[in-house]
Amino acid sequence: MLVSILIAICNQVLLLLALGGLRPGHARAAGAPSTSGSNVHSVIQDGWLPQSLSLGSLNLAPLTITPTIDTEFDAFGEINNGWGGTFKPPLEESHQFFENSLEPGLTGDLALGDYGRLEGRVSGVFAMVGGGLNAAATNYGDLQGRDFSIDDGYGKWTSGNLFPLLGVDAITVIGGRYTYQIGDGFLFYNGNQGGGDDVAVWLSPHHSFKETGIVSLNSHGLLLEGFYLSPNDHPDSHTQLAGVNTELRTFEAMRVGLTYANIFHSDTPQRHGLNLIYARAEGAIIPQIKDFYLSSSFAAESNGDKVSGAYGWYLTPSYTFAQLRWQPTIYYRYASFSGGGHDGNRNFDPLFYGMSDWGTWYQGEILGNWITTNTNLNSHQIRLNLVANDQFNINLIYYHFMLDSHSQTMRSAPVRPITSTDLADEVNIIADFNLTNWWTMALMFAVDVPGRAAREITGGNRTWVQPSIWTGWNF
């Protein structure tokens, strides 16, 4: 079945390429009318693929009920998995595997006239892995793992025009199983850390926190919200936290934000009582050069003797050559997550991070997805993004990874003394295909070369190679 699916997907890609929709040279300058995707659009409009495809809605005014189905599939090949080194479970036994997820859901929307709007949603995720041992060996002993569990289950009220001086939908109240996200996923993005999606590690189709309570005011460029969260982790650590998040968006060139959170209960000793301060800023800070963009974040954590002097931060300048063909954007990012200290008390807790774009915040399609988390890790990243048209773009990403200290935080690797912090170098090539508004695809190729630290930790010295494919359908 896996082979037949891959063949079908490849045939569709080849057909699209043959029809000319993805040829280079069709990129447009910023703000120009879109003619770049005309070939693809004509193919879609001529009946090869419908541009829009949904299950429709049931209108019981003032109530609207909308069913949804999201499904994803990926397949991976592995050469020299784990650099050929020693891990428990044995990563070197991974050669190929695939994952699949299916999420049916139901959304209800109730208009309340002058009193705003109510929304509710419930969804469940079926996830599976097969074809062999995955790259992190999490399915060791159960190669055909599968799971079904609830993801969304929340209610949401927005104020509509109830408070005209504040603006439309200025106040929002949310409760239940909900996905709460801040910014680009640096700390708050994925509420399910090792829960029901264990069997589909890369897809990670679950995102909702097990419990949320959120009240937000979004008015005239100011966002102010209070939140309560309990992650859906497994085994359940009974972690609970509360905090305040603010963002200021009144400046044309810059957006700034500040978050404070306290984990007031957790079965994990380092987390119980943890305090977090998280500041961030981003924008086109030079008005005369709007193609230059800068983003940065800094987070500090403290918890008495258990956590002291732990920090995580990054700085990312980027520049878009908007008038050039394919509109190349070049990014550089330096990211640093502290580690080490007395009994690991400087190990930064990355909390509930996730991926909002390639390279954030699973750093490296190999290292960040299968081996490391964002603690005791520093990295240089250089990224080139090329946009051919609305249907096709390419990312080329290079990383140089270093340990922040000689203490070891790599998953399942044997504990050995090391003399170097030079961890690895990795290159990712990713091609994105946005075939329609309901079908997307990515072809990925990653190479990771172990540095001296990785060789000392694992005993492996081979280049890890990983080709892969992902596709998703949303109805």
CATH number of the domain where residue 194 is located: 2.40.160.100
Count the Cβ atoms, other than its own, within 10 Å of residue 304.
10
Report the distance separating Cα 399 and Cα 381, nearest Å: 5
Q: Per-residue pLDDT tens, the chain, 475 aa: give them.
A: 333 434 333 444 333 333 333 333 323 233 333 333 333 343 444 456 777 788 889 999 899 999 999 999 999 999 999 999 999 889 999 999 999 999 999 999 999 999 999 999 999 999 999 999 999 999 998 888 899 999 999 999 999 999 999 999 999 999 999 999 999 999 999 999 766 667 899 999 999 999 999 999 999 999 999 999 999 998 889 999 999 999 998 777 789 999 999 999 999 999 999 999 999 999 998 888 989 999 999 999 999 999 999 999 999 999 999 999 999 999 999 999 999 998 889 999 999 999 989 999 999 999 999 999 999 999 999 999 999 998 999 999 999 999 999 988 787 888 778 999 999 999 999 999 999 989 999 999 999 999 999 999 999 999 999 999 999 999 9
pLDDT tens, residue by residue, 34-87: 333 333 343 444 456 777 788 889 999 899 999 999 999 999 999 999 999 999
Report the distance separating Cα 411 and Cα 264, nearest Å: 27
CA angle 319, 321, 326 (to 5 degrees): 125
Residue 375 phi, psi dihedral angles, 5° rounding: -150, 145
Report the distance separating Cα 237 and Cα 118, nearest Å: 32
Q: Which domain holds residue 48?
A: 2-474
To the nearest 10°, report the CA torsion of 55, 470, 369, 383: -110
Report the distance separating Cα 474 and Cα 103, nearest Å: 9
Report the distance separating Cα 133 and Cα 91, nearest Å: 8
To the nearest 10°, report the CA torsion of 28, 33, 39, 43: 140
Residue 364 phi, psi dihedral angles, 5° rounding: 95, 125
Residue 317 phi, psi dihedral angles, 5° rounding: -85, 150
Question: Hey, is 416 helix, strand or coil?
Answer: coil
Structure tokens at 157: 């009220």
CA angle 177, 170, 278 (to 5 degrees): 60
What is the total count of domains within the chain? Answer: 1
User: Letter for the amino acid at 356?
Assistant: S
Identify whether the C-beta of residue 451 lies closer than 8 Å to the C-beta of residue 419: no
- pTM listed for this prediction: 0.87
**In angstroms, what is the C-alpha Rg of the chain?**
23
